[in-house]
Every structure is written in C-alpha cells, then in structure tokens.
Chains A and B, each alone.
Chain A
Amino acid sequence: MRLILIAALLASAATPAGAKKDREAPAPTQGSSAEPENPYPSTYKAYPGVATAIRGATIFDGEGGRIDNGVIFLSDGKVTAIGGPDTPIPADIALFDGTGKYVTPGVIDIHSHLGDYPSPSVDALSDGNEATSPVTAHVWAEHSIWPQDAGFGRALANGGVTSLQILPGSANLFGGRSVTLKNVPARTMQGMKFPGAPYGLKMACGENPKRVYGSKGREPSTRMGNMAVNRQTWIKAREYQKKRAAGKDQTRDLGMETLADVLEGKILVHNHCYRADEMANVIDMSKEFGYKVTAFHHAVEAYKIADLLRDNGICAALWGDWYGFKMEAYDGIKENIPLVHRAGACTIVHSDDENGIQRLNQEAAKALGAGRRMGIDIADEVAWTWLAINPARAMGIADQTGSLKVGKMADVVLWNGNPFSTYTRPEKVWIDGALLYDSANPKLRPVSDFELGQIGAGDVK
C-alpha cells in the first residue's frame, strides 16, 4: 500500500488549467497560431445565500488580524462588515451566536489531486500523471477531474476547505496546467472552476522524473538530466513566445502556449521540489530563462534556504510533519514551517493528500507547536495566513478570497472551538455566502454520485 502511495506521491505534482483570466466569448483570431482565449470557461455560479451574521466569535481574518468577540456580516455572497462587538448588523437576518467559537476564512489548499486521483483509487480513475513523456506541458489537469470524487465533500465538511488547486502529478518535469476550483459540488469541472483564477504550471524536481523515465531507459535518468531537459524545453518555449509576441505565424503547440504564458507571467509556476540544493538550481534556471517560480511545493528542506526563498519572493507550500518516505524527504523536520515563516518567506500549509486536506488546521497546529518549543512564537491568527491569504496569493486569487475583508467572497468557516485544537471541527461552512455545510443539518452534507445509494451514503463521515 505504501508503495502505491509513494508512486502516487512521486507522480503527484501537476499543472492544471488555463492561465488566462476568464474573458468574453472567444474572439476568432487569424493565422495558425491563433489561440482561443478561454476554451473551457468556468460556469460556476454562487449558490443562493441569505444575509447572515455571526456574533461573539473569535475571528482570524486570514491576513494575520484577530478580533475577539467579533462580528461578521455576510450578504450577497460577500463579506459586508467585520469588526468588534459594536459592529452594526441589520435586523431580520440569519444570526448565529459564535460565543466560544472561531470564525476564519475558508481553508485554501494549494496542492491537491482530488478529482484527478479520486476515491476509489482504482486504475480506471487514476488520471493524475500523464507519465508517458517527461515534458507534458500540454496537458491540463482540469480535463482529468472527476467531480464525483467524495474527497471534495470531506474536505469541505471536515476540513473547511473552500478553494483548492488541483495539480497534475510529479512524474514529469513539466506536468501540465493546474486548475483552481471552488469546493462546491457540481456536475462538471467547469461548474467548480474558480472564475478568473489564473492557471498554474506544475513542474517537478528530483527523484520522480528521473526514476519514472530512467527506469524506462529514457532521459532524464539523473538530476543533471532533469535540468538539461528543462533548459532545452525553456529554450524552445522562449523561441515560441517571441514569435507569438511578434505576431508571427506558427503552428499551435499546446505545451508551448502554456510555457509562453509562463514566460509572460500569465501562468504561475508551482514547482514540486524537496531538496534545498535543487531549489537553488531551479531559482537560477528561472533567472536564466526569465520566468518566476511562484511556489515550491513540498520543499521539505525549505528551512535550509529560507533566506533564499525570502530574497527571491518565492512561497513554500509545506507539510506539517511528513518526512523520510523517500530519500529526498529524509531531512524533513517539524520546524520547517515556523523556520521559513520566521525568515520572512511566504509560508503555506498544503496537503497533497485526500486525508490531509481534511485536517490542514491540525497540520498548521503541529508547526505552531514545534515553532513555539524552539522559541518562534507565532500567534494563532498569524499562523492562519498559512491556510488563507498566503495560498490565495500564490494562486492569484487573493483579490477575491483568502481573507475576511469587506467586499471579498464570503468563503467562511465557523469552527466549534479553536481551529488549532484537535478537538475542533467545522460547524458551518459558507462559500460565496451560501451555507453548504452545517454539522447540525444532515441534509447539508454533500453526497457524491459515487456514494449515492451505497452503504454509508449520507452518514456522518
């Protein structure tokens, strides 16, 4: 079993979906290099909500702020007011007493494979790695997503996850495009797609690509092979991008389109990379070819180069305590997150796991405790940035969600206690102001098509 997991991990770093902002109907363009603007557009629409206020709760605003005995007011799908106990709220709205409870922005997971490695994990549904070539920049993770993965509902109900990025796996150097979703059940991927979110490109360092292709007697079989194939590919991408920018005619190439968008800053690079020395190589490569790494994912050795990450403005998306399951994870330590945070680099807690995504708050708690024991005293409300505004920024959606600021999406969790306690669970979760999980109401609990009519359907999970 563990081997299967490792294989999945090794293969799990992906790049999904379209980097371009949603636009109006695609404008036909001339020439063979014409790209449709947004061929798989989001059809997500916020579900109806009612004007809602929570009074008396401790609020973490997701940007490091805290309000004790706070008030938050949600209407028309947005945060419309937030403040202390005197914050005015209208009459005749749904009002919840938050005494002894906590309110946070919804958890954002920057690294998930829900839908492309869904439950049940059978071969027929294993769609996370196009492991047939080390360079598959042309694939889009959104085209693998199975919206009936029960994991989405668990992440909502148990994890308070309201937005998530689905990445291709990490078998390939260039895994393909990622896609960002609202964690709302839908019939189609498009029905979940986060409107206007930029695409990401999944890249991968290290053991996975060299193992997957080396074992087939193909390049790359070494870390230097990884870098060489990467650089050759960027050379081609730059040529393609230059021609495209100059309006020159060329045959469309899906992979090159994605890479050209990276070079133009429209697609964000999410790079699976464990070791400090390899991250340093990737940073140099990004400078060589003129693109930016938005975030290193997994980065179990980020703590060794926290200063380098800070100085280059690169986020680190990290686990609370994973270590040692493969050679490049051997030096994982529980203090990774607090050490990176203290150095002043952008720090994110991620899951890469259908179980871990249900407890990202607890992963953050592990890091908080480990940090405090070594004298890094991070306040609870500051630690919540790891689950909120920081991943939102790294996913390019911070202008819309990721904190409880007036005018932002009302993606909100009411927790039944301090969310850094093991004893705490989401009590209610709103997405764009719509109440989509209520622990007290068994009917407000998503049951995927796969589970419907099966034993255990609708059970508290």
Chain B
Amino acid sequence: MMKASNIRSLRAKSRSARAAFAALALLSTPALAQSLAITGATLAIGDGSEPIRNGTVLISAGKVTAAGAGIAIPPGIKAIDAGGKWVTPGLVSGYSRVGLVEVPAVNETNDASARSPFSAAIDVAPAINPLANPIAISRTAGITRAVVVPSTGIGIFAGQGAVVDLGADMNAITRARAFQYVELGEEGAKDAGGSRPAAILTFKTMLREAQDYARAPASYDGRSKDALLNRVDAQALVPVVTGAMPLMVHVESARDIVTVLSLRQDFPALKLIIAGAAEGWMVAPQIAAAKVPVIAGGLDDLPSSFEKLAATQSNVGRMVKAGVIVSMGLMDRDEGLQLRLATQQAGNMVALNKVPGATGLSWGQALRTISSAPAEAMGLGDRIGSLKPGRAGDVVLWDGDPLEMTSAPIAVWIDGVPQPIDNRQTKLRDRYATPGEGALPKAYEW
C-alpha cells in the first residue's frame, strides 16, 4: 500500500513536470510583437471618450503608435479589416487575485493570504503563476492586465500587490510592489483585534515605526517587546510613509472613507487609493478634492453589511460625476477567477442611464473604469489601459459590443503579441460538444 505522502509527492512531481513542459512549450516558441493595423473598427480608446466608427489602430514594436479616425497606414504593414466590429484596449481589472489562485477553496492552490509572521513585506510578484487557468480564461475574455491584491492573514497589512499582464508567456509582471494593501474598515477592525480604533492606532503606530526605521535602520529593534513591526515589515512600509509606494486602503462606509482621508494629517505624503467605497457617493466631493482614486465593485446595492447600508449601483456614476477617478474590480467575490465580469459591471453602469433617478456612466466613461482608470490609479496610465500612442499594444477585437453579455473577443494582443484564443474551458466545450462516447472514450478526444 502506498503511503499518502508518497502519493502526494508523486502527484507533485507529475504536476511540476507538466507545468515545466507547458512552460517550455511557451518559451521555446516566443511569439513576436507584430506590426499591425486594425482598420474599419468601431473604436474605443479607453480614455473616457466615446467610440468612433471606422477607426484605425496602429501597433508597432509592441506599442500603440496611433489610434483614431483618418489614420494613414504605413506601407507593408499587416492590416486587419475589422469590418465595423469593435476594438478596445485590453481591459484592466482594478482589483483581482488572478495568478495567485487556481481553485480558491483548495488551499494548496490559494496564495492570496498567509498566517505568517510577515505582513507588509509580503510581495505577491514572485508567486504569480502565468500558467494559472484563470489567467488564460480571463485573457480569452479580453482582460489583458490586472491589479493583483493580496489579502490579510494576521494583522491589517496584507503586503505588496502587483500589476500583471495576462499574456501566454512566463513574464507576467508589469509592476512588482505596485502598492501596499491595508484593511481599515470592518475587516480591518477584525484584523486588529476587534475594533476600528484599534485598527487606526495600529496603522499609525506601524507607520511611525517605519519612520523610525527609515531614520536609523541599523538601530531599529524589531524584536523589542514594544515593537509591532519586525525589521522586514518596517522596511517595507518606508516607501508607503514617504509616498513612493501607493497605499490601497479597503474601506466601505462613508465614515471610514472620511477617516482614511484624514490620515494625511499625520502622514502627509501618503499616496492613497481607496478600494471598496460602497458608500463613496455620500462623500464623493471630499474624495475628489483629496484626489484619491477609488476602485469599486460597481454593482453592490445591498446592505450586505453595516458598512454598506447606503450601497447603490449609482455609486460609481455619482463619484465620477463628482470628479473622482473610479475603476471597477472584483470586490469580495471570485477575485481570482472572474475578471471577465468587468464588461458586465461596466455595461450595467450604462444601463442606469435609462433608470429614472439613477446615475450611470456614458459608454466611454464605463469602459474607462475597466481600462485607463485602473491604469492611472496604479500610476501606469502612460503605459497601459488605453489606445493612446505610446501605450502597450494591448488590443481586443470583439464580435459585438464588448459590454454586452452575448459578445466575446475574436482576437487579443498583449504587447503586440497575438494571444491564443483557447483555454481549458474551450477544450472541455469541444470535447463535450456532443454527448455520449464515440468510437473511443472521451478521454481520447484532445
């Protein structure tokens, strides 16, 4: 009888062997960035402007060189006629755990959080798995970049998130250590031992310890009984206090948002991003005045907790109207898997325009919440998230209006590289397109 541990190790070996094979297959055939023109498109730039008809996108050396109407196509360049179909920038998920998770409920495949002695110093970038199935599934749905957010294990800081691309290659990182993540709402209260005052005090004390560390790293004693932060976590928070690294704060209620904005009284350099903000509309002018970008769930409309009593789908529209830069992402559900819900979130913002009393977004504004706005929130607006010249050649050609649930991408490019349009789900679909076994079992259909 084989021992369980042996079985496990056997499985681990075959798993890593498969992964290595797949990686080799990808790496041994490096797809090259194409010079490419897409013409005749219903073209959306992603910067908030409305789509135009008969638009052209030019990509060269992996970057967008031009996009708009009346653009001349350089001779000799490969041209694709979109025939009126839609072209958008690759979509950007403003909040996800893609690449950190394969099956959320299978702990061995879930790297989103840890009960670790470390917190702020945790860096998700080395753990991102470009071969994770949710990456391919999301890519096939037109998502080309994502903000990857760790979640808290012990304490209020979760660590340093990343911005990734979803390309079919082994280099996923667009920006490592793109931001630090902290919980300061209901979850923060829990993480701090049970109350918001404890969370705020913990936060301030930790940032002051980081300042102590910055002043004299050699003399910082992370092991003194008064220290909350070990040396490694203290060092990791230094760029947060100095404003060199954005701080993403998860809060939902109007009260907590105001509290977060006031943190700059003690730490003026903080570069805040608010995630969640279900009640952001109530304090939208303050958020706008503080120039703090928000990443919201968009469709929250239930009092699902006491910090979301005023949740409404008009939240995003009202904040945008007040001048807040709002992105959308996966808050609270399926963060590792369902990045493709971005188009549904955005489409529903457009739907609100026809609901009396609701505040929605124009089509162009809605697309912006899932393209250039999250890029800007991450300080990457000049590199990704739109089809303005100089941005990465992340382009999606769609078979219909991208914000309709009946539509899907026909082709996806990342950094100008054409991406595969199949994934594990399309292979399951094809295998079971007809029920019943054929001349051989289904297992031979691949």
Contact = CB atoms under 8 A, between A and B. Distances in A.
13 contacts: A1-B187, A304-B432, A320-B405, A322-B338, A333-B425, A339-B429, A365-B406, A372-B406, A422-B348, A425-B354, A454-B303, A455-B282, A461-B301
Given A119-B302, A327-B105, A459-B312, A420 B335 contact: no
Q: What 5 A-B pairs are tightest by C-beta distance, nearest first?
A: A422-B347, A369-B406, A456-B310, A326-B105, A365-B405
A326 B405 contact: no
A158 B435 CA distance: 36
A358 interface: yes
B304 A2 contact: no
A1 B106 contact: no
A358 B429 contact: no
B321 to A, nearest CB: 14
B303 A327 contact: no
Nearest to A451: B303
Contacts of A460: 312, 314, 355-358
Interface in B240-268: 254
Q: Specify which of B137, B405, B429 lies most central, judged by the most chain A CB atoms within 10 Å of its CB.
A: B405
A330 B335 CA distance: 15
A320 B332 CA distance: 19
Contacts of A306: 435
A324 B405 contact: no
B404 A422 contact: yes
A120 B299 CA distance: 16
A121 interface: yes
B408 A456 contact: no
Interface in B328-383: 332-338, 340, 343-344, 347-348, 350-352, 354-358
Nearest to B335: A2
A350 interface: no
B156 to A, nearest CB: 15
Main secondary structure of the interface of B (DSSP, over half): loop
Given A343-B435, A366-B405, A420-B405, A120 B306 contact: yes
B169 interface: no
Interface of A: 1-3, 5-6, 10, 119-122, 150-151, 154, 158, 207, 303-307, 320-327, 330-335, 339, 343, 354-355, 358-359, 362-363, 365-366, 368-370, 372-374, 416-417, 420-425, 439-440, 442, 450-451, 454-456, 459-461
Given A327-B106, A416-B354, A425-B351, A120 B428 contact: no
B404 A365 contact: yes
B305 interface: yes
Interface residues of B, number: 63
Contacts of B334: 2, 322, 325
Contacts of B309: 451, 454-456
Nearest to A354: B302
A208 to B, nearest CB: 10
A306 B429 CA distance: 13
Contacts of A10: 105
B117 interface: no
A14 B282 CA distance: 38
Contacts of A422: 343-344, 347-348, 350-351, 403-405
B285 interface: no
A368 B406 contact: yes
B104 A326 contact: yes
Contacts of B195: none
A454 B307 CA distance: 12
Contacts of B312: 456, 459-461
Given A304-B432, A456-B310, 5 more contacts: A334-B429, A339-B433, A339-B435, A355-B302, A422-B343
A5 B304 CA distance: 12
A343 B432 CA distance: 11
A327 B109 CA distance: 11
Contacts of A307: 435-436
B302 A154 contact: yes
Given A369-B407, A422-B347, A330 B103 contact: yes
B133 interface: yes
Contacts of A354: 302, 304
A325 B105 contact: yes
A324 B134 contact: yes
A372 B262 CA distance: 52
Contact of B311 (A327, A333, A423, A456): A456
A333 to B, nearest CB: 5
Contacts of A421: 404
Nearest to A305: B435
Contact of B405 (A154, A322, A369): A369
Q: Specify which of B104, B302, B399 lies most central, judged by the most chain A CB atoms within 10 Å of its CB.
A: B302
B313 interface: yes
B429 A374 contact: yes
Contacts of B313: 158, 461
A370 B406 CA distance: 7
A420 B355 CA distance: 16
A339 B432 contact: yes
Nearest to A151: B302
Given A326-B106, A362-B344, A439 B356 contact: yes
A126 B109 CA distance: 29
A327 B103 contact: yes
A456 B304 CA distance: 13
B404 A150 contact: no
A423 B337 CA distance: 24
Q: Specify which of B105, B350, B351 lies most central, judged by the most chain A CB atoms within 10 Å of its CB.
A: B105
Contacts of A372: 406
B299 A355 contact: yes
A425 B299 CA distance: 14
